[in-house]
Amino acid sequence: MKKAIEDLPLQKFISMHPYILGYFAPLVKQFLSKTITLGEWIRSLTDDDFEEVGMDRGQTVNYLQFLIRYFEERGKRTSVKTITVIGGTNKFGEPENVVFHVSAGEIICIVGPTGSGKSQLLADIECIADGDTPTGRKVLLNGQAADTTLRFSTENKLVAQISQNMNFVIDMTVWEFLTMHAQSRMVAQPSETVENMMVCANDLVGEKFSPDMPVTRLSGGQSRALMIADTALLSDSPVILIDEIENAGVDRQKALSLLMKEEKIVFMSTHDPLLAFLGSRRLVIQNGGIAKIIEASAKERDNLSRLQNMDVFMMQLRTRLRRGDSIDEKLYFSL
């Protein structure tokens, strides 16, 4: 195996593993001829060339093999069909007495006052708690406890987060950024995936944006839409934690159905009735513990459709405002 990659022509090696150029970046000024093999190229560099950029010649081939294997492994999606949460204790040490299962494609809402322990619940799910967090909760995947590498390693993350913070600091256009993200995920056809993400994101947002917009110039709503599309279509994390989707400029219902369609398990902390009724269940958090679990009833579902009408009504007004219309007729709305 070691022999094999060293004998590959440099050009071929790079076209097989384009991301590898990132590893060589510090040495790149030394890419003289691409007709030589990888091994010949490495041998053509001096020890000083490596030392200069803080790299270790002896490890280069090992590291390359490691990276190739590593990224191959990453390409495989982890499949999580169910999550089980086994209750621990609240902040008074009283037992929660709950066990619940969540299946792929389901949305669970988390409600409760600020400081009640919603974030701790999300954190317990994120680190796949094993009785070792302050609440003593246990989280099982497909009915089993997760192993340590899965729990703490950043890149095997089972959980993706959509938080309030959707800022970008990177100096790139939307297209460049999504392409880079798709490449880092080893997507075979990045341009196709990026195209899809653009369509989805623009479908969620009131104000459309083009692929050559710098990411740092996107509005709050556009960034959120982009990140929701990205999470749905590119993230290989089967579980998504959402910390409230702000109303501004994003079609939240469409966003959630996109995530459900992709068979994600969604935990969403929200106080928005429209979103809360979309979930199959609500966890009520009080004093750091899960105080009760409310199943969405038929009556609540009935209320959902009324709220949806109200949402459409508001959205239409927003569109008119954006267009520059005056809204001086007397507004009527009835549930």
Supply the minimum distance, in Å, between the C-beta of residue 31 and other proteins. 15
Supply the minimum distance, in Å, between the C-beta of residue 294 and other proteins. 28
Closer residue to other proteins (CB): 65 or 247: 65
* C-alpha to C-alpha distance for 281 and 293, rounded to whole angstroms: 7
Show the CA angle centred on residue 255, arms to residues 126 and 237, nearest 5°.
Answer: 30
Supply the minimum distance, in Å, between the C-beta of residue 99 and other proteins. 23
* C-alpha to C-alpha distance for 304 and 110, rounded to whole angstroms: 17
The rounded radius of gyration (Å) of the Cα atoms in the chain is 25
Supply the minimum distance, in Å, between the C-beta of residue 313 and other proteins. 31
Name the token pair of 57: 């010649």
Instruction: Check: CB of residue 263 under 8 Å from CB of residue 239.
Output: no
Which phi and psi angles does 205 have, rounded to 5°?
-115, 145
Instruction: Check: CB of residue 103 under 8 Å from CB of residue 279.
Output: no
One-letter amino acid at 155 equals E
Closer residue to other proteins (CB): 192 or 302: 192
Residues that bind other proteins (CB under 8 A): 19-20, 22-23, 25-26, 51, 53-55, 63-64, 66-67, 70, 123, 126-127, 132-133, 148, 151-155, 160-163, 165-171, 177-178, 180-181, 184-185, 223, 227, 230-231, 234-235
Helix-helix angle 190-204:252-261, to 10 degrees: 140
Supply the minimum distance, in Å, between the C-beta of residue 287 and other proteins. 20
Closer residue to other proteins (CB): 128 or 307: 128
Q: What is the DSSP string of 41-57?
A: HHHHS-HHHHHHTT--G
One-letter amino acid at 229 equals A
Measure CA 252 to chain center. Answer: 16
Closer residue to other proteins (CB): 70 or 273: 70
* C-alpha to C-alpha distance for 295 and 121, rounded to whole angstroms: 19
* C-alpha to C-alpha distance for 157 and 136, rounded to whole angstroms: 21
Closer residue to other proteins (CB): 212 or 329: 212
Closer residue to other proteins (CB): 171 or 207: 171
Supply the minimum distance, in Å, between the C-beta of residue 156 and other proteins. 10
Closer residue to other proteins (CB): 169 or 331: 169
Supply the minimum distance, in Å, between the C-beta of residue 275 and other proteins. 19
